Amino acid sequence: MDLLNNSVVKFLNKMTDILVLNLLFIFTSLPVFTIGASLSAMYAVSLRSVRYGDGYVVKTYFKAFKQSFKQSTAAFLVTAAAGALLFLDYRFWKAMDAGLFGRIQQVIIIVIAFIIGITAMWLFPLIAKMNDTLITQIKNAVKIAFGYFLPYTVSAAGIAVFAAWLATLNPGLTIIMIIFGFASVSNLQSLFFYKVFSKYIKENPAGPDDPLYGRDYTE
């Protein structure tokens, strides 16, 4: 009975952490240009949860938000600008009656968008976990995205795609995904992210003074 009660308490605590984390992410993303910092902060909490199994949601979130703000914001703005340009370019070639050449251009744009997408998926967790320059973070994100394509990149991307698909099924699921979805996705993805990061990071034992950031990524 005690074991059941403990399991229920742990589950409720976890769901509460996810709810709080999700609300923090939504709230701090409202200015839009802060989405990058919000993503890194959310992954900082999720990665800590994977490693240590504790909450510290609010404290860890705002600490990570502040520490990664400049780098994460720059990364988000560059990624968003690239995405917008690719979208406009795709629409241009789709509207043009350019035959085979136009279709080839569309395929090239889709491939580039895919590369940027999976790189960005690793970039913000890297910023949350590693201390390095933005250029180095981007290079490492590309290396990891393709170096660990199977199963880690595919699995992490699949989680995000599946969550997005669930949100489109009916209004009820849409509401649930808005309330819990972002943090749930980051928690599940972090199970895969941490398995990769742990190959390059030697962390101290769990404790209240555990540093938020790990050591630099080394090849």
Query: Could you read off the pLDDT of 175-211 as tens digits, one per residue?
Result: 999 999 999 999 999 999 999 998 887 665 444 434 3
Q: pLDDT value at position 211?
A: 39
Q: pLDDT value at position 52?
A: 80
Instruction: Please state the pTM of the whole predicted model.
Output: 0.88
Q: pLDDT value at position 2?
A: 61
Q: Please name the residue that has the structure tokens 């290396």.
A: 143
Q: pLDDT value at position 214?
A: 42
- As a whole number of angstroms, the distance between CA 144 and CA 119 comes to 8
Q: pLDDT value at position 4?
A: 60
Q: pLDDT value at position 3?
A: 56
Q: pLDDT value at position 1?
A: 56
Q: Please name the residue that has the structure tokens 């972090």.
A: 190
Alpha-carbon 140 to chain mean position: 15
Q: pLDDT value at position 67?
A: 95
Q: Which residues of the chain have pLDDT under 50?
A: 205-219
Any residues with CB less than 8 A from the CB of 53 and at least 6 apart, and which? Answer: 206
Using alpha carbons, select from 164, 26, 158, 140 the residue that is nearest to residue 75.
140
Q: pLDDT value at position 56?
A: 84
Q: pLDDT value at position 41?
A: 97
